[in-house]
């Protein structure tokens, strides 16, 4: 049913429909509304779940790790410093093959402290073994949580999924969302049955010390599972389309790519702004397009190369950095094309929107304007040079 | 596409205002996107809330720089800051303020309505929360929304006495601006 919902509220209601038995979280802007709503939902008896209040994100992550390890579907959400404080546990959750779903309400990281949106938090944890899906709008945020649990709990996966949604822009934005029904979700998402779990009657050890004789195989196994996820995610997304009527590829989305000679690659809510600019430029005869990366982990290198192989100039626009190196998404796209026969002549890298700096239609037009034969490595859009003058007097 | 920018201070209910406005558009069958932008995240700090509305889902995620309509919840924000920045040539502004409020020079086709929204709110709600009165004024000034649509949004948000009081406030705000339009 179509509703006019705040992004956080829509996600909380979606999690209710997914029926996690354990929820634990520590409030942090801009994730707060999600967990406040869930606390209320549990307190009102609308969801039969243990909502565990904790003193930090490290504990919140540990509680939900324990929840899934005991065989119970679990949920948490965080942002920025909260995700970084969870980092140790985040690696453990993937290493122990626990199919948790976590919402990252994307926010910049300190210092300096800044509560606004970019994607440095989740991008910094790209190597943790989690599947990461980036939502463009509130509808995708809703749907990706349902799809996320299906992917995570698939017996061939048993890996956690992080659903990334841009802080404020989507968490505090209010728009029309088609909310799924309980019946639809129940049909699509069967109750979680763990392959193995912590059980006093049938004890097992999870996350034990593993010596050099077998550690490498555990990491190899996760890596292989990510490869398999590249074919499973589109299958589950197709299954979702059948039940819910909304079509996703799950890995990438191509927007006006046919015959495009200049294409922006991006993740998250900025893709909406880019689509509007593309429509405007297309009406003036410019052959421009967008490749939206939905799944950052696993990284769909083959699908991206296939989509962009006939494009002459590609701009990678991202809201995160790898300080001291080329930008993270641009690095991976360039590396994906290395050695391939058909590839773009130019792959330029752009950064925008750090710490909530507004990305306007003009910002996107600037990217297209700067996307020329001269390849750019990390061009900052809307930078204020006057703030960079140093004066120690 | 229509774009509405709300100027307020954190704690004055601008997000509720944007939500009610968006909800009224939603009931009309439009696709609104309502969102806030906070400056310093502190009570009293200047902040904006926005509503962008279209006949199809809104994809544009930037803030609003060239609004069709302005709602200024707190007239003290006009001191030292140009709340009118980017207002379209035929734009309409609704300002919560008194008769003696100093106004900037506006374009020939731009319209400004100053209304005593806080007084209206004090009378109907008993607290100086002029948001629903301003929204009533918005309906009258812009013709974008029927008053009934606004009432529906208020009913979904408030219950009991607060609902009645806010509907009365919105109605009085609507009548105030309507009478201004008739006079001019």
- pLDDT of A314 over the 90 cut: yes
Give pLDDT, residue B9.
94
Total domain count, chain B: 1
Mean pLDDT of A55-83: 98
From residue A138, alpha-carbon distances to A103, A164, A166, A169 in Å are 13, 11, 10, 9
The H or E element containing residue B181 is: helix B160-183
Q: Rounded to 5 degrees, what are φ and ψ at A290?
A: -130, 140
| Other Cβ atoms within 10 Å of A131 Cβ, number | 25
Residues 255-314 of A with CB under 8 A from B: 269-270, 272-273, 275-276
Q: What is the CATH number of the domain that holds B51?
A: 3.40.920.10
How far, in whole angstroms, is CA A341 from its chain's centroid?
A: 30
Give pLDDT, residue B42.
84
CA-closest candidate to residue A96, choices A56, A129, A122, A54: A129
Which range marks the domain in which residue B83 is found? 2-183
How far, in whole angstroms, is CA B37 from its chain's centroid?
A: 15
Domain ranges of chain A: 2-244, 252-388
- Topology agreement, domain A2-244 and domain A252-388: yes
| Other Cβ atoms within 10 Å of B178 Cβ, number | 16
Give pLDDT, residue A239.
98
Query: How high is the mean pLDDT of chain A?
Result: 97
Q: What are the residue ranges in chain B where pLDDT is below 50?
A: none
Percentage of chain A exceeding pLDDT 90: 99
In the three-class reduction of DSSP (H, G, I as helix; E, B as strand; rest coil), residue A392 is classed as coil
A129-138, A302-311, A348-357, B74-83, range with the lowest pLDDT: B74-83
CA pair distance A20, B55, nearest whole angstrom: 37
pLDDT tens digits for A1-45? 999 999 999 999 999 999 999 999 999 999 999 999 999 999 999
Which of B28, B50, B61 is the mutation pick for testing A, counting most A CBs within 10 A? B61
Give pLDDT, residue B40.
73
Vertex A123, ends A122 and A129: CA angle to 5°? 80
Note whether A103 and A11 are within 8 A (CB).
Answer: yes
pLDDT tens digits for A157-198? 999 999 999 999 999 999 999 999 999 999 999 999 999 999
pLDDT tens digits for A112-124? 999 999 999 999 9
CA-closest candidate to residue A121, choices A156, A165, A154: A165
Mean pLDDT of A48-68: 98
pLDDT tens digits for A202-232? 999 999 999 999 999 999 999 999 999 999 9
**Burial zone of A58 (CB within 10 Å; 0-12 exposed, 13-18 middle, 19+ buried):** middle
Q: Inter-chain contact B63–A360, Cβ cutoff 8 Å?
A: yes
Query: DSSP states of A111-140 as a string?
Result: SSP--S--SHHHHHTGGGS-EEEE-SSHHH
CATH class of A252-388: alpha beta
CATH class of A2-244: alpha beta
Which of B21, B50, B62, B150 is the mutation pick for testing A, counting most A CBs within 10 A? B62
Q: Are β-strands A346-351 and A252-255 bridged in parallel, bridged antiparallel, or unpaired? A: unpaired
CA pair distance A349, B184, nearest whole angstrom: 55
Q: Rounded to 5 degrees, what are φ and ψ at A96?
A: -85, 5
Q: Inter-chain contact A137–B59, Cβ cutoff 8 Å?
A: yes
Q: Alpha helix locations (H) across chain A?
A: 7-18, 32-43, 57-69, 80-95, 120-124, 138-153, 182-188, 215-244, 270-283, 301-308, 328-337, 361-370
Give pLDDT, residue B80.
82
Q: Report ipTM (2 d.p.).
A: 0.96
Note whether A175 and A142 are within 8 A (CB).
Answer: no
Query: How high is the mean pLDDT of chain B?
Result: 95
Mean pLDDT of A325-341: 97
Which residue's entry shows tokens 């013709």?
B143
Any B CB within 8 A of A192 CB: no
Q: Inter-chain contact A168–B37, Cβ cutoff 8 Å?
A: yes
pLDDT tens digits for A253-295? 999 999 999 999 999 999 999 999 999 999 999 999 999 999 9
Please, how many CA atoms are within 13 Å of residue A60, restricted to the half-sphere of its CB? 27
Which residue's entry shows tokens 């869930």?
A38
Q: Nearest Cβ partner of A173 from B35, B41, B65? A: B35
DSSP 8-state code for residue B101: -
Q: Nearest Cβ partner of B62 from A115, A174, A360? A: A360
Give pLDDT, residue B81.
87
Give pLDDT, residue B41.
72
Mean pLDDT of A91-95: 98
């Amino acid at each position: 049913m179509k509703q006019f919902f705040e992004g956080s509220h829509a996600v909380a209601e979606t999690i209710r429909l997914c029926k996690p038995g354990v929820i634990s979280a520590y409030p942090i802007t801009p994730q707060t509304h999600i967990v406040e709503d869930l606390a209320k939902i549990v307190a009102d008896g609308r969801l039969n779940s243990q909502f565990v209040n904790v003193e930090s994100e490290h504990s919140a992550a540990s509680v939900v790790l324990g929840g899934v390890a005991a065989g119970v579907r679990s949920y948490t959400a965080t942002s920025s410093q909260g995700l970084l404080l969870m980092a140790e546990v985040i690696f453990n959750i993937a290493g122990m093959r626990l199919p948790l779903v976590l919402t990252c309400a994307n926010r910049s990281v300190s210092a300096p402290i800044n509560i606004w949106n970019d994607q440095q938090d989740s991008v910094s944890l790209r190597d943790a073994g989690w599947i990461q899906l980036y939502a463009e709008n509130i509808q995708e945020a809703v749907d990706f949580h349902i799809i996320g649990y299906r992917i995570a709990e698939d017996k061939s996966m048993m890996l956690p999924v992080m659903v990334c949604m841009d802080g404020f822009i989507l968490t505090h934005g209010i728009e029309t969302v088609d909310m799924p029904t309980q019946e639809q979700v129940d049909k699509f998402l069967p109750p979680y049955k763990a392959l193995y779990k912590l059980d006093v009657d049938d004890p097992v050890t999870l996350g034990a010390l593993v010596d050099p004789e077998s550690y490498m195989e555990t990491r190899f196994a996760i890596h292989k599972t990510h490869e398999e996820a590249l074919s499973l995610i589109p299958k589950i997304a197709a299954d979702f389309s059948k039940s819910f009527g909304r079509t996703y590829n799950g890995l990438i989305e191509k927007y006006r790519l046919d015959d495009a000679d200049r294409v922006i690659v991006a993740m998250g809510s900025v893709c909406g702004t880019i689509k509007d600019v593309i429509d405007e430029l297309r009406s003036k005869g410019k052959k421009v397009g967008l490749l939206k990366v939905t799944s950052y982990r696993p990284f769909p290198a083959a699908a991206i190369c296939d989509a962009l192989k006939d494009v002459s100039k590609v701009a990678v626009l991202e809201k995160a950095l790898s300080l001291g190196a080329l930008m993270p998404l641009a690095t991976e796209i360039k590396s994906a094309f290395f050695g391939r026969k058909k590839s773009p002549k130019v792959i330029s890298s752009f950064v925008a929107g750090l710490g909530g700096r507004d990305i306007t239609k003009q910002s996107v037009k600037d990217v297209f304007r700067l996307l020329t034969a001269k390849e750019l490595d990390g061009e900052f859009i809307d930078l204020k040079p006057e703030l960079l003058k140093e004066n120690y007097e | 596409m229509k774009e509405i920018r709300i100027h307020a201070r954190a704690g004055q209910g601008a997000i509720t205002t944007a939500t009610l406005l968006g909800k009224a558009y939603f009931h009309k069958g439009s696709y609104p996107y309502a969102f806030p932008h906070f400056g310093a995240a502190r009570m009293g700090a200047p902040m904006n809330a926005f509503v962008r509305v279209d006949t199809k889902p809104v994809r544009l995620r930037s803030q609003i720089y060239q609004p069709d309509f302005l709602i200024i919840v707190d007239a003290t924000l006009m001191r030292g800051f140009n709340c009118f920045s980017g207002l379209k040539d035929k734009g309409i502004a609704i300002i919560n303020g008194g008769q003696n409020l100093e106004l900037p020079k506006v374009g020939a086709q731009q319209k400004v309505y100053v209304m005593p929204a806080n007084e209206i709110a004090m009378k109907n709600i008993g607290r100086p929360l002029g948001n629903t009165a301003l929204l009533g004024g918005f309906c009258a000034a812009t013709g974008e929304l029927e008053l009934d649509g606004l009432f529906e949004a208020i009913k979904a948000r408030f219950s009991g006495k607060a609902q009645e009081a806010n509907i009365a406030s919105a109605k009085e705000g609507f009548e105030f601006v309507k009478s201004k339009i008739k006079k001019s």
